[in-house]
Copies of this chain bind each other. A is one copy, B any other.
């Protein structure tokens, strides 16, 4: 297999990149300077070598403990539980959250053989129990899918006996959307969760 075909195949393994796009990328790189291609290659090796899960929260990290866990200005009384590490960024970008995170590494999905043991649940419960009351609130920010909801219900049952409040993200109308195009279940939840103006 030629080096061109091999690189095309590697690109085509990436999500959202088909064989035509992969070929276009390869041609773009071959037309450009070899230094650009080498830089991309080095950036990949760096990520492969340096990124690992944070020993505390499971977020991607260049160090044993991630930047959020080691930041003394973060609020250690609140823990936000997300399914995947890339969801940490979605919450961080709001600039509205100053607490810590915990990454489950997925959601409960019995049909796919994913139970609590396949997720970072034991670590979460140990972390809460080990904080000896410092963690006062756990925000369960699993996705608003059926499996995400099931996971949040399970976590709530496990966490509440340990002491902290257990909350979840509000369900409601997404900002900027027309009521006409919002599905009925969302409107029903927005009605149930209505607030004083």
Contacts and interface: CB of A to CB of B under 8 A. Distances in A.
Contact of A14 (B7, B28, B30): B28
Interface of A: 2-4, 6-7, 9-11, 13-17, 21, 23-31, 34, 36-51, 60, 62, 84-86, 89
Nearest to A7: B43
Nearest to A45: B41
B85 A4 contact: no
A47 B50 CA distance: 24
A41 B48 contact: yes
A1 to B, nearest CB: 10
Contacts of A24: 15-16, 86
Contacts of A45: 37-38, 41
B47 A44 contact: no
Nearest to A2: B62
Contact of A29 (B23, B36, B44, B62): B44
5 contacts: A2-B62, A7-B46, A14-B28, A38-B45, A41-B48
Nearest to A27: B86
